[in-house]
Structure 1
Amino acid sequence: MLKLITRSLRTALVAGLAGAALSAVPAVAGTISIGHTTWVGYGPLFIARDLGYFKAAGLEVELTTIEESSLYMAAMASGKLAGTASTIDEILKYRSAQFCFRSVVALDESSGGDGIVVAKGIESIKDLKGKAVAVNEGSVSMFWLSYLLKKAGLSLKDIEVKNMTADDAASAFIAGRVPAAVTWEPNLTMVKQKKVGKVLVDSSKTPSVIVDVVALRCDVIKQQPKDVQALVDGVNKAVQYMKTNPKESAEIIAKGLGGYLSKPEDVVDSLKGVRFYDTKGSAGLLGSSAKPGPIKDVISLANETWSAIQGKTLTVSYEDLVDTHFLSVSH
């Protein structure tokens, strides 16, 4: 989903974000603007918008596709966006005392939609040691790969990283230029169909690790609590709608997202690798300040992973990144 940002460029961007945050545009009551990439997991936002769930609660939600994380985070820091829909590990890199934002609801987790494809002879993650692996540096794909390597007693230093987007990584693998690649659907299915390799592991084996959230600027959360609650409640209603209206949901998502998901049938295929959170599920994942949920472990892993990759220590806490005040299932 995300393109490469070199370390020097990323440092400059983070510095710029901090400066932009100091002069952010004030929040506007009744409106929440969200930037996002083209990912099926953001479907509930389009469903809640198009079916009027947000509007019924007096909220106008503006959804803007921005395929580069540094750009949508810069837009949020400058006040052009109230928030973003993204993986929590990705946004963690931008959190600072000057740029305050928190996750208010979990949207989805990848549950089979991401995977590692490998050539013959590679039977485990440990077998990747010393081999070239195509992966998008600085992206959630690298974060997930780092997680899997760590579980196998390895690290990114034990492999040869070949920086490529997820689509290019799949193409390079199919062409035989690399023995392993980190990618996602529909590339995983393509590899199976072409019988050029196999899926070594997919994200269904790592629940609650690749997690998408809606994160909002702290001033928006403070100044627009009713709007934030309307957003969270609308997402919950959309998830419930998806359970009983899969065909109609796919059509709405395809129309809203477009791009490689512009056809309902493509949305249906992509949805097979995604698990959505209703309010109860989101509350269970995020937990509370008194008892943080599993997301705290993801935050710790993200700090460790990005610190190693960027060469500087990140210490973003659970409290820095999560606000669960809007996830009560009894209100």
Structure 2
Amino acid sequence: MKHFKGKSASILVGVIIVLFSIGAEAKDLYEIKCIFPYWTGFAPTFLARDLGYFEEEGLKVDIVFDDDRGNVLPAMMRGDVDCSERTIGEYLTRPRTDETTGTAIGTIDLSLGADAVIADGSIKTVADLKGKVYAGEPNHPAYMLIQVALKEVGVAWKDVIYRPIQTADGMAIFEDSSIAAVGGFEPMISQTLKATSRKGAHILLHSGDYPGLIVDVIVIRTEQLKKHPDKYAGFLRGIYRAIDYLNQNPVKAKEMMAPHYTLTPKEFQESLDVGVEYTSYEKAVELFGTPGQQGKIHEVFDTLMDIALEHDLNDVKLSADKSIDNTLLNDLWKGHKR
């Protein structure tokens, strides 16, 4: 998904449970156990907690990093976690069905350049990939980007030679002259372009070319959302108040967020400079729409769902309306301070 997602942070499910259990006793606070990849796009969750916004909402939010999606969905299905933050494209793939727990209730960040496809000098446009080798990790943002771009220029996926790889291997694989293009995310993209010996290597396309396509959403265990919608409305308020604080106090906010990723504030800023936008409340409403009115995220969902089906990333067509709930965003601040 982006700058740090390739960094291993996978943990055993038993460890997840133990970590969430530590200090779980907090009188009069409703506990939310949240899990997401090691990616600075999710940092406002830490900021909201550190600023005390969650506690003001009567919440205790526990956070654990885990890059492995294979751990997250089973944990949510068992009830070990209540909250996950990931791209909408990752959300809708196998083994999810319309009955699987997990409802998207808001956004937290947009990728506007952090995910990309690089190519050698012979590939000037996406159409030039016809008959050439593209290497990338399946079900990652760059994979979705290349599908959309190829469809736009009328090149069928079957006419591109696809080689599945791990993103972490992308830099070495790009040195193979038989590989025309490689998909990935920052910092792999920038590092590869700096280190490669291939002449004319360049960014062929990136997530900034398709604003809103690569978006990270906040997903809540459906059973808990139905029982306690007010608690998760409070969770959203905490997130968007933290993003407001970040916009008003960028230096202080980044000083607070950086240590959670073992980064200096400068390194943290560099992780955002590649093309990351934290979504304000207003942007979230624009993307999610209002009750009875679909937003941009529904269109993106359907586009990526078609790709998932075409490429055997799921067996069933999911409904955007069943997966996305925009009701909490409506009147989120009514009776509450912002």
TM-score scaled by length of structure 1: 0.85
In the aligned structure 2, how far is the partner of 1:217 from the partner of 1:223?
10
For residue 223 of structure 1, the aligned residue among 221, 227, 231 is 227
Aligned partner of 1:179 in structure 2 is: 180
Residue 29 of structure 1 and its aligned partner are, at CA, apart by 7.1
Partner-residue secondary structure (3-state), 1:310: coil
Residue 274 of structure 1 and its aligned partner are, at CA, apart by 0.6
For residue 315 of structure 1, the aligned residue among 317, 320, 323 is 317
Letter in 2 for 1:76: M
Residue 174 of structure 1 and its aligned partner are, at CA, apart by 4.4
1:47 aligns with 2:47: yes
Residue 117 of structure 1 and its aligned partner are, at CA, apart by 0.7
Alignment of 1:136-151 (within 5 A): 136-151=137-152
Are the equivalent residues in 2 in contact too, given 1:306–1:314 (CA < 8 A)?
Answer: no
Residue 239 of structure 1 and its aligned partner are, at CA, apart by 0.8
Aligned partner of 1:103 in structure 2 is: 104
Letter in 2 for 1:234: G
Residue 32 of structure 1 and its aligned partner are, at CA, apart by 1.1
Are the equivalent residues in 2 in contact too, given 1:104–1:326 (CA < 8 A)?
Answer: yes
Residue 172 of structure 1 and its aligned partner are, at CA, apart by 1.7
Among all aligned residue pairs of Structure 1 and Structure 2, give the percentage whose two residues are the same amino acid. 25
Residue 109 of structure 1 and its aligned partner are, at CA, apart by 0.9
Residue 30 of structure 1 and its aligned partner are, at CA, apart by 0.6
Aligned partner of 1:169 in structure 2 is: 170
Are the equivalent residues in 2 in contact too, given 1:92–1:316 (CA < 8 A)?
Answer: yes
In the aligned structure 2, how far is the partner of 1:242 from the partner of 1:311?
36
Alignment of 1:298-313 (within 5 A): 298-310=300-312, 313=315
Letter in 1 for 2:219: A
Partner-residue secondary structure (3-state), 1:133: strand
User: CA RMSD of the aligned region, Å?
Assistant: 2.1
Letter in 2 for 1:64: V
Are the equivalent residues in 2 in contact too, given 1:44–1:238 (CA < 8 A)?
Answer: yes
For residue 290 of structure 1, the aligned residue among 269, 289, 292 is 292
Residue 182 of structure 1 and its aligned partner are, at CA, apart by 0.7
Are the equivalent residues in 1 in contact too, given 2:193–2:202 (CA < 8 A)?
Answer: yes
Residue 39 of structure 1 and its aligned partner are, at CA, apart by 1.3
Q: 1:29 to 1:158 in 2, by over 3 A?
A: farther
In the aligned structure 1, how far is the partner of 2:114 from the partner of 2:240?
22
In the aligned structure 2, how far is the partner of 1:152 from the partner of 1:252?
44
Residue 292 of structure 1 and its aligned partner are, at CA, apart by 0.3
Aligned partner of 2:113 in structure 1 is: 112
Alignment of 1:203-218 (within 5 A): 203-218=207-222
Structure 1, gaps ≥5 residues long: 4-27
TM-score scaled by length of structure 2: 0.84
**CA distances 1:1-57 after superposition (whole Å, capped 9, x unpaired):** 478xxxxxxxxxxxxxxxxxxxxxxxx971111111111210111111111111111
Instruction: Name the count of aligned residue pairs.
Output: 304
Are the equivalent residues in 2 in contact too, given 1:31–1:227 (CA < 8 A)?
Answer: no
